[in-house]
């Protein structure tokens, strides 16, 4: 019915990731696609440690019900303690839908007490995603409304394929407000004035508008990748996200974590305090094997082999 990951503690390479198909009918079981690469290889590649967290509730366009939320929550808790993941990609297995938000049909049947518990868990889960220590990319290949857009906003980057034609936070039209981080994450991303307009109006917009105003970082086309005979528009965002993950993966994983911590926490400080915080983050890398490897690789004019140590 939904998809969330149960992340193992040992390295796992799942061939099904590259042979994935999109759901058009009900999914009998939760699914997860994890790809850590070959962690036992003596020469780690930039693709090592790229983990997929995939939504798969096709009958409801990935609307978040209690079961999906439970699985998301479990996945996030696992990711918080996972030592293999270097980059996370959040994506959808449902053609034309990233996430349509909360399951309003289920919400109507909830008691007030159960709804408050559900809402608290949703906020805790999304905050957990936003605070993951490694880079996170939302690969959007379809609509993202309400909580679905809020889910994408927890990521460090958002990329959108050509099927991403409906985006927005329409909660005020239902006499509520975005309640899973939308008011805060969007304001910090594009500024309070533009965020207020989009939230007050509940405007639905497309990926081009989102790109122009800084909500989407990159637009993915539906052209074929090198070596492919044809293209799939419903995978364009995911393909671009993987390409970005490959680029990011060329950096040292400890350095990427330190850079994310320096930026994210520094934004809540005055500039002088933030620069001291940056210095503290920098110092954590002094005695790492990766730093030594980076210097040695530069001297020997070869690509470094970082191991996150």
What positions carry a catalytic annotation? 102, 147, 150, 171
Q: Which residues have a Cβ under 8 Å from the Cβ of 64 and sit 6 or more positions away?
A: 72, 99, 101, 102, 103, 122, 147, 148, 151
Q: Residue 160 forms beta bridges with which residues?
A: 140, 219
**Secondary structure of 245-263 in HEC code, one letter for each residue:** HHHHCCCCHHHHHHHHHHH
How far does CA 43 lie from the centroid of its chain? 27
Contacts of 269 (CB under 8 A, 6+ apart): 277
Tell me how far apart the alpha carbons of residues 259 and 231 are, in angstroms, rounded to a whole number.
35
The closest of 77, 31, 70 to 52, measured between CA atoms, is 31
Q: How far apart are CA 37 and CA 40, in angstroms?
A: 9
Nearest to 56 by CA among 72, 35, 73: 72
């Amino acid at each position: 019915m939904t998809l969330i990951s149960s992340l193992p503690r040992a390295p796992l390479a799942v061939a099904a990731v590259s042979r994935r198909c999109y759901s058009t009918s009900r999914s009998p079981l939760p699914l997860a696609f994890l790809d850590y690469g070959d962690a036992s290889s003596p020469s780690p590649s930039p693709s090592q440690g790229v983990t997929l967290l995939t939504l798969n509730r096709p009958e409801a366009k990935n609307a978040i019900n209690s079961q999906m939320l439970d699985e998301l929550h479990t996945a996030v808790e696992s990711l918080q303690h996972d030592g293999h993941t270097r980059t996370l990609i959040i994506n959808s297995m449902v053609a034309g839908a990233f996430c349509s938000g909360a399951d309003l049909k289920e919400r109507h049947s909830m008691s007030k007490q159960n709804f408050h518990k559900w809402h608290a868990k949703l906020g805790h889960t999304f905050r957990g995603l936003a605070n993951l220590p490694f880079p996170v990319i939302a690969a959007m290949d379809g609509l993202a409304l309400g909580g679905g857009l809020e889910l994408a906003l927890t990521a460090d980057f958002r990329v959108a394929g050509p099927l991403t034609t409906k985006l927005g936070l329409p909660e005020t039209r239902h006499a509520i407000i975005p309640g899973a981080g939308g008011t805060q994450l969007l304001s910090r991303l594009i500024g309070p004035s533009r965020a207020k307009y989009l939230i007050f109006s509940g405007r639905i917009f497309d990926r081009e508008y989102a790109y122009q105003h800084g909500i989407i970082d990159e637009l993915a086309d539906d052209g074929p990748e090198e070596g492919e005979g044809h293209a799939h528009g419903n995978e364009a965002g995911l393909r671009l996200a993987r390409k970005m993950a490959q680029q990011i993966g060329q950096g040292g994983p400890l350095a990427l974590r330190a850079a994310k911590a320096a930026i994210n926490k520094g934004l809540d400080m005055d500039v002088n305090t933030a620069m001291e915080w940056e210095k503290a983050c920098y110092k954590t890398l002094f005695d790492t094997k990766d730093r030594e490897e980076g210097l040695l690789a530069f001297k020997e004019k070869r690509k470094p082999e970082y191991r996150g140590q």
